[in-house]
C-alpha cells in the first residue's frame, strides 16, 4: 500500500505533522509550519477541511456548549470551529507550496462538500477524524474516491470499526490504515492502550498506526516498537503562537526530537536476521575457541590442562573439546597454538 510514493509495507514509519488550527489564522504561519515540517523530517503535512457551518449549527443551547474538562470548555461548538478552521481559499496555495518543497500533503474532510472540494488537488490520501468514524456516509463517499483512507478509531466501538472497514471494502477500497487514538486533549498516558496498535492490524487485516494526543514523545516511540506504520502528531512552529491546539502540539524542536527518536527506534528494531554478516564474523575474534594451554609433545594425551576453551576465537569450536580429550597428539604443540585436530 502506498501513500504517494511512500510504501507503507516496505518503507519506514510514515510520520504525519498535523497542522490543524496551528496556523492561528495566518496563511504565512501555515506555510512556515509546512516548511519546518519538511526540514525536521516529517513525511506529510495534514490539513483539516471544514467550516463551522459544515461541522455544526450556530446554536448556544446546552447541547452545543463544550464541557467535560476540555481545553475549550465554555465555547459553543460553532465558536470553536469558526476559530480553528483552515480557510478553504488557502488550500490551493498550501497544496502547491507543500509539493514545491517535496513534502506530501492531504487533509481530513468533514463532510461530502469537503471531499468534492479536495478532489481538485488530487490528495495522496484522506483522513477520517476519530469523531467522524460514525458518519458512515462520509466514510463511504470518501473511500469511493479510490485514495488510501486513514481512519482514527478514538471513540469507536469494535463494531463501528468493523463497519468502517467493511464500508471501505464495499466500495472497492482496501487501502485502509486504522490509527489507535485516544480522543482526549491532551490524552493521559494510561489511556493510550498501545497494545491496540498490533491488535488493530491483526483483527481487521489492515495497516495500523497511532494518532497521538499525549504530551511528550514516549507514546509514539512505543507505538513504533509495537508495529505502528503511521504516526500522526499535532505540530506547531512555536507554542507562543497560541491557538486551539497549541497546548497538546509539539513545537519544532520537540517534533524534530520525535522524528529522530522514531528513526533511531527503527534502526534498533531492525529485522529478524540470523545470518553471519561481516560485523558478526569480525566480532567472533573475541569468542572462545580451543587453544594449547601447555606444551604438548607428540604422543601425549590431550587433557583439560593442555587444551582449553579460551579467547580469542581463531581456533576450532569449543564444542569439540570433549571429543578430543583423551586422544593422542600426532605432533608437538606450543603454548598459544590454535588447536587443530
Q: Mind listing the pLDDT tens digit of every residue in the chain (341 residues)?
A: 999 999 999 889 999 999 999 999 999 999 999 999 999 999 999 999 999 999 999 999 999 999 877 777 889 999 999 989 999 999 999 999 999 999 999 999 999 999 999 999 999 999 999 999 999 999 999 999 999 999 999 899 999 999 999 999 999 999 999 999 987 778 889 999 999 999 999 999 999 999 998 888 999 999 999 999 999 999 999 988 887 788 889 999 999 999 999 999 999 999 899 998 898 889 999 999 999 999 999 999 999 999 999 999 999 999 999 999 999 999 999 999 999 87
Asked if residue 259 and residue 118 are part of one domain, the reply reads: yes
Alpha-carbon distances of 16 from 10, 47, 233, 234, rounded to whole Å: 17, 10, 6, 8
Same domain, 173 and 302: no
| Selection from 157, 160, 152, 164 nearest residue 128 by Cα | 152
Instruction: Give the structural domain span for 191.
Output: 2-50+85-269
Is residue 192 domain-shared with residue 286, that is, in the same domain? no
* Domain presence at residue 79: no
Element of type H or E holding 292: strand 289-292
Only one residue has cell 579467547, namely 311
Same domain, 289 and 250: no
What span, in angstroms and rounded, lies between the C-alpha atoms of 74 and 76? 7
Radius of gyration of the chain (CA): 29
Domains held by the chain: number: 2
161 and 285 co-located in one domain? no
Query: What's the CATH code of the domain at 45?
Result: 3.20.20.70
Using an 8 Å Cβ cutoff, are 288 and 318 in contact? Answer: yes
CA distance 90 to 31: 10
Residue 293 lies in a domain: yes
Do 206 and 298 sit in the same domain of this protein? no
Q: Does residue 68 sit within a domain?
A: no
| 264 and 283 both lie in a single domain | no
244 and 158 share one domain: yes
Residue 186 lies in a domain: yes
As a residue count, the chain comes to 341
Answer yes or no: do 155 and 295 share one domain.
no
Phi/psi at 291 (5° precision): -130, 160
247 within domain boundaries: yes
164/313 same-domain check: no
Amino acid at each position: 500500500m502506498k501513500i504517494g510514493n511512500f510504501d507503507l509495507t516496505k518503507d519506514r514509519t510514515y510520520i504525519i505533522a498535523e497542522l490543524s488550527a496551528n496556523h492561528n489564522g495566518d496563511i504565512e504561519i501555515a506555510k512556515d509550519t509546512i516548511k519546518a515540517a519538511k526540514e525536521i523530517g516529517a513525511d506529510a503535512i495534514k490539513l483539516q477541511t471544514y467550516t463551522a457551518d459544515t461541522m455544526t449549527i450556530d446554536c448556544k443551547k446546552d447541547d452545543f456548549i463544550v464541557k467535560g474538562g476540555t481545553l475549550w470548555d465554555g465555547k459553543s461548538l460553532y465558536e470553536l470551529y469558526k476559530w480553528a478552521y483552515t480557510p478553504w481559499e488557502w488550500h490551493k496555495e498550501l497544496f502547491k507550496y507543500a509539493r514545491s518543497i517535496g513534502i506530501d500533503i492531504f487533509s481530513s474532510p468533514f463532510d461530502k462538500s469537503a471531499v468534492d472540494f479536495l478532489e481538485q488537488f488530487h490528495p495522496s490520501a484522506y483522513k477520517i477524524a476519530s469523531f467522524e468514524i460514525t458518519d458512515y456516509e462520509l466514510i463511504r463517499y470518501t473511500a469511493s474516491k479510490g485514495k488510501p483512507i486513514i481512519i482514527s478509531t478514538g471513540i469507536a466501538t469494535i463494531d463501528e470499526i468493523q463497519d468502517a472497514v467493511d464500508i471501505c471494502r464495499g466500495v472497492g477500497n482496501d487501502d485502509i490504515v486504522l490509527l489507535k487514538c485516544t480522543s482526549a486533549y491532551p490524552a493521559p498516558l494510561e489511556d493510550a492502550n498501545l497494545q491496540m496498535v498490533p491488535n488493530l492490524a491483526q483483527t481487521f487485516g489492515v495497516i495500523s498506526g497511532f494518532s497521538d494526543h499525549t504530551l511528550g514523545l514516549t507514546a509514539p516511540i512505543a507505538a513504533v516498537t509495537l508495529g505502528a506504520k503511521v504516526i500522526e502528531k499535532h505540530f506547531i512552529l512555536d507554542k507562543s503562537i497560541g491557538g486551539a491546539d497549541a497546548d497538546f502540539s509539539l513545537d519544532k524542536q520537540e517534533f524534530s526530537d520525535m522524528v529522530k527518536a522514531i528513526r533511531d527506534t527503527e534502526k534498533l528494531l531492525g529485522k529478524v536476521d540470523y545470518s553471519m554478516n561481516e560485523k558478526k564474523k569480525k566480532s567472533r575474534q573475541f569468542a572462545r575457541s580451543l587453544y594449547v594451554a601447555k606444551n604438548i609433545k607428540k604422543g601425549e594425551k590431550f587433557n583439560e590442562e593442555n587444551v582449553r576453551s579460551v579467547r580469542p576465537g581463531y581456533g576450532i569450536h569449543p564444542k569439540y573439546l570433549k571429543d578430543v580429550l583423551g586422544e593422542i597428539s600426532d605432533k608437538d604443540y606450543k603454548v598459544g597454538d590454535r588447536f587443530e585436530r
